[in-house]
Amino acid sequence: MQETEQLVDEKIAELVQNGNVDVFGVLVERYESKLSRYINKFLFYGDEAEDLLQDIFIKTYINIKSFDTKQKFSPWIYRIAHNELINAIKKRKSNKSINFFDFDMDVLLPHPIANETADGEMERKEIRELLDKGLREIDLKYKEPLVLYYFEDMSYAEIADVLKIPTSTVGVRIKRGREALRKVVK
Protein backbone atom coordinates (compact mmCIF):
# COMPACT_ATOMS: atom_id res chain seq x y z
CA MET A 1 0.00 0.00 0.00
CA GLN A 2 2.92 2.31 0.85
CA GLU A 3 4.30 1.81 -2.66
CA THR A 4 0.99 2.72 -4.29
CA GLU A 5 0.89 5.95 -2.31
CA GLN A 6 3.92 7.09 -4.32
CA LEU A 7 2.12 6.51 -7.61
CA VAL A 8 0.38 9.20 -9.63
CA ASP A 9 -3.45 9.18 -9.77
CA GLU A 10 -3.52 7.93 -13.35
CA LYS A 11 -1.37 4.89 -12.50
CA ILE A 12 -3.57 4.08 -9.51
CA ALA A 13 -6.67 4.37 -11.70
CA GLU A 14 -5.05 1.92 -14.11
CA LEU A 15 -4.45 -0.54 -11.25
CA VAL A 16 -8.12 -0.24 -10.22
CA GLN A 17 -9.18 -0.79 -13.84
CA ASN A 18 -7.12 -4.01 -13.81
CA GLY A 19 -8.94 -5.31 -10.76
CA ASN A 20 -6.84 -4.05 -7.82
CA VAL A 21 -9.82 -2.83 -5.82
CA ASP A 22 -7.92 -2.00 -2.61
CA VAL A 23 -5.90 0.81 -4.19
CA PHE A 24 -9.14 2.64 -4.92
CA GLY A 25 -8.92 3.64 -1.26
CA VAL A 26 -5.81 5.69 -2.06
CA LEU A 27 -7.81 7.74 -4.56
CA VAL A 28 -10.60 8.21 -2.02
CA GLU A 29 -8.05 9.44 0.55
CA ARG A 30 -6.42 11.82 -1.92
CA TYR A 31 -9.65 13.41 -3.13
CA GLU A 32 -11.81 13.29 0.00
CA SER A 33 -10.73 16.70 1.37
CA LYS A 34 -10.63 18.42 -2.03
CA LEU A 35 -14.08 17.19 -3.08
CA SER A 36 -15.51 17.96 0.38
CA ARG A 37 -14.32 21.53 0.06
CA TYR A 38 -15.70 21.71 -3.50
CA ILE A 39 -19.13 20.44 -2.35
CA ASN A 40 -19.20 22.80 0.66
CA LYS A 41 -18.69 25.76 -1.67
CA PHE A 42 -22.09 24.93 -3.15
CA LEU A 43 -23.70 25.06 0.25
CA PHE A 44 -24.00 21.35 0.91
CA TYR A 45 -23.03 20.47 4.47
CA GLY A 46 -23.39 17.66 7.01
CA ASP A 47 -25.15 14.43 5.99
CA GLU A 48 -26.20 15.86 2.65
CA ALA A 49 -22.55 16.60 1.77
CA GLU A 50 -21.39 13.19 3.01
CA ASP A 51 -23.98 11.36 0.91
CA LEU A 52 -23.02 13.43 -2.10
CA LEU A 53 -19.33 12.68 -1.56
CA GLN A 54 -20.02 8.97 -1.25
CA ASP A 55 -22.10 9.04 -4.44
CA ILE A 56 -19.24 10.76 -6.28
CA PHE A 57 -16.74 8.06 -5.27
CA ILE A 58 -19.19 5.26 -6.06
CA LYS A 59 -19.84 6.75 -9.54
CA THR A 60 -16.07 7.11 -9.98
CA TYR A 61 -15.58 3.42 -9.24
CA ILE A 62 -18.49 2.30 -11.46
CA ASN A 63 -17.22 4.33 -14.43
CA ILE A 64 -13.47 4.02 -13.91
CA LYS A 65 -13.02 1.87 -17.02
CA SER A 66 -14.13 4.83 -19.15
CA PHE A 67 -11.17 6.84 -17.85
CA ASP A 68 -8.35 7.21 -20.36
CA THR A 69 -5.18 6.78 -18.30
CA LYS A 70 -3.25 8.96 -20.77
CA GLN A 71 -5.35 11.93 -19.60
CA LYS A 72 -5.25 13.67 -16.21
CA PHE A 73 -7.38 12.04 -13.52
CA SER A 74 -8.24 15.21 -11.60
CA PRO A 75 -10.51 16.90 -14.24
CA TRP A 76 -12.19 13.53 -14.84
CA ILE A 77 -13.21 12.99 -11.20
CA TYR A 78 -14.23 16.64 -10.90
CA ARG A 79 -16.46 16.15 -13.96
CA ILE A 80 -18.26 13.36 -12.06
CA ALA A 81 -18.47 15.63 -9.01
CA HIS A 82 -19.86 18.45 -11.16
CA ASN A 83 -22.60 16.17 -12.59
CA GLU A 84 -23.58 14.89 -9.15
CA LEU A 85 -23.62 18.43 -7.81
CA ILE A 86 -25.87 19.65 -10.63
CA ASN A 87 -28.25 16.73 -10.01
CA ALA A 88 -28.33 17.56 -6.28
CA ILE A 89 -28.97 21.24 -6.98
CA LYS A 90 -31.80 20.30 -9.39
CA LYS A 91 -33.31 18.02 -6.70
CA ARG A 92 -33.12 20.87 -4.23
CA LYS A 93 -34.94 23.09 -6.69
CA SER A 94 -37.47 20.41 -7.64
CA ASN A 95 -40.31 22.32 -6.04
CA LYS A 96 -39.39 25.48 -7.88
CA SER A 97 -39.79 25.89 -11.60
CA ILE A 98 -36.77 24.93 -13.68
CA ASN A 99 -36.27 26.69 -16.96
CA PHE A 100 -35.29 24.03 -19.52
CA PHE A 101 -34.63 26.69 -22.13
CA ASP A 102 -32.08 28.50 -20.00
CA PHE A 103 -29.51 28.70 -22.78
CA ASP A 104 -26.25 30.46 -22.03
CA MET A 105 -25.00 32.74 -24.82
CA ASP A 106 -21.46 32.54 -23.33
CA VAL A 107 -20.95 29.12 -24.88
CA LEU A 108 -22.41 30.10 -28.26
CA LEU A 109 -20.15 32.94 -29.30
CA PRO A 110 -16.36 33.24 -29.35
CA HIS A 111 -14.72 35.52 -26.77
CA PRO A 112 -11.52 37.27 -27.81
CA ILE A 113 -10.56 38.48 -24.32
CA ALA A 114 -10.24 35.31 -22.34
CA ASN A 115 -6.56 34.59 -21.94
CA GLU A 116 -5.33 32.92 -18.79
CA THR A 117 -3.37 35.39 -16.71
CA ALA A 118 -1.00 34.49 -13.92
CA ASP A 119 -2.52 36.03 -10.81
CA GLY A 120 -0.20 36.91 -7.97
CA GLU A 121 -0.54 35.00 -4.71
CA MET A 122 -1.92 38.15 -3.06
CA GLU A 123 -4.69 38.43 -5.64
CA ARG A 124 -5.54 34.75 -5.38
CA LYS A 125 -5.77 35.11 -1.62
CA GLU A 126 -7.98 38.17 -1.97
CA ILE A 127 -10.36 36.40 -4.36
CA ARG A 128 -10.51 33.35 -2.08
CA GLU A 129 -11.51 35.58 0.82
CA LEU A 130 -14.07 37.39 -1.35
CA LEU A 131 -15.44 34.05 -2.49
CA ASP A 132 -15.94 32.89 1.08
CA LYS A 133 -17.80 36.08 1.88
CA GLY A 134 -19.92 36.43 -1.27
CA LEU A 135 -20.45 32.82 -2.20
CA ARG A 136 -24.22 32.81 -1.65
CA GLU A 137 -24.72 35.89 -3.76
CA ILE A 138 -23.18 34.96 -7.08
CA ASP A 139 -24.60 32.93 -9.91
CA LEU A 140 -23.67 29.22 -10.13
CA LYS A 141 -22.24 29.69 -13.63
CA TYR A 142 -19.63 32.08 -12.21
CA LYS A 143 -19.22 30.38 -8.85
CA GLU A 144 -18.10 27.02 -10.24
CA PRO A 145 -15.22 28.25 -12.46
CA LEU A 146 -14.08 30.58 -9.66
CA VAL A 147 -14.00 27.73 -7.12
CA LEU A 148 -12.17 25.42 -9.51
CA TYR A 149 -9.65 28.11 -10.44
CA TYR A 150 -8.96 29.72 -7.07
CA PHE A 151 -9.50 26.82 -4.65
CA GLU A 152 -8.72 23.75 -6.73
CA ASP A 153 -5.87 25.40 -8.69
CA MET A 154 -7.06 24.13 -12.05
CA SER A 155 -6.05 25.65 -15.38
CA TYR A 156 -8.63 27.10 -17.81
CA ALA A 157 -8.24 24.01 -20.03
CA GLU A 158 -8.88 21.67 -17.08
CA ILE A 159 -11.94 23.68 -16.01
CA ALA A 160 -13.18 23.50 -19.62
CA ASP A 161 -12.90 19.69 -19.35
CA VAL A 162 -14.82 19.61 -16.06
CA LEU A 163 -17.63 21.90 -17.21
CA LYS A 164 -17.50 20.89 -20.91
CA ILE A 165 -17.55 24.48 -22.09
CA PRO A 166 -15.14 26.40 -24.38
CA THR A 167 -11.83 27.41 -22.79
CA SER A 168 -12.47 31.06 -23.74
CA THR A 169 -15.83 30.92 -21.91
CA VAL A 170 -14.01 29.78 -18.75
CA GLY A 171 -11.87 32.92 -18.97
CA VAL A 172 -14.91 35.15 -19.48
CA ARG A 173 -16.81 33.59 -16.58
CA ILE A 174 -13.84 33.92 -14.21
CA LYS A 175 -13.40 37.57 -15.20
CA ARG A 176 -17.13 38.36 -14.83
CA GLY A 177 -17.34 36.28 -11.65
CA ARG A 178 -14.48 38.26 -10.07
CA GLU A 179 -16.22 41.53 -10.98
CA ALA A 180 -19.56 40.30 -9.62
CA LEU A 181 -17.88 39.14 -6.44
CA ARG A 182 -16.18 42.48 -5.84
CA LYS A 183 -19.49 44.29 -6.36
CA VAL A 184 -21.40 41.96 -4.04
CA VAL A 185 -18.86 42.07 -1.21
CA LYS A 186 -18.42 45.86 -1.36
Partner 1 sequence: MEEKKEQLNKEILSQIKEGKVEMKSRWFFVLRTLLGILGVFLLSLCLIFLVSFILFGLRKSGVALAPGFGPQGFILFAMSLPWMLILITAAFLAVLEILIRKYSFVYKKPILYSLIGVFVATTLITLLLPSFSLHNSIFRAYQPEVGDREADMPPIGRFYRGFGMPHPSDLLRGVVVDFSTGTLVIANENGVTSSVILNDFTKIFPGTDMGIGDELLIFGPRSTSGIIRAFGIREIRD
Interacting residues with partner 1 between 148 and 167 (CB under 8 A): 157, 160-161, 164-167
**CB contact set of 97 (below 8 Å; sequence gap of 6+):** none
Q: Does 175 bind partner 1 (CB under 8 A)?
A: no
Among 5, 8, 11, 29, binds partner 1 (CB under 8 A): 29
Q: Does 48 bind partner 1 (CB under 8 A)?
A: no
CB 138 within 8 A of CB 127: no
Among 4, 10, 14, 24, binds partner 1 (CB under 8 A): 24
- Tell me how many residues contact partner 1 (CB under 8 A): 35
Among 20, 63, 115, 117, binds partner 1 (CB under 8 A): 63
Q: Does 176 bind partner 1 (CB under 8 A)?
A: no
153-168 burial by CB neighbour count: b if 16+ within 10 A, else e? ebebebbbbbbebbbb
- The continuous run of DSSP H or E covering 133 comes out as helix 121-134
Residue 138 to residue 11: CA distance in whole angstroms: 38
Q: Does 49 bind partner 1 (CB under 8 A)?
A: no
Residue 104 to residue 85: CA distance in whole angstroms: 19
Nearer to partner 1, 85 or 165 (CB): 165
Q: How far is the CB of 97 from partner 1 (least distance, A)?
A: 23
- Stretch in the footprint of partner 1 (CB under 8 A) among 2-10, 93-101, 109-117, 122-130: 109-117
Among 11, 65, 92, 133, binds partner 1 (CB under 8 A): 65
Sign of CA dihedral 87, 82, 141, 164: negative
Q: Tell me how crowded residue 121 is: count the other CB atoms within 10 A of its CB.
A: 7
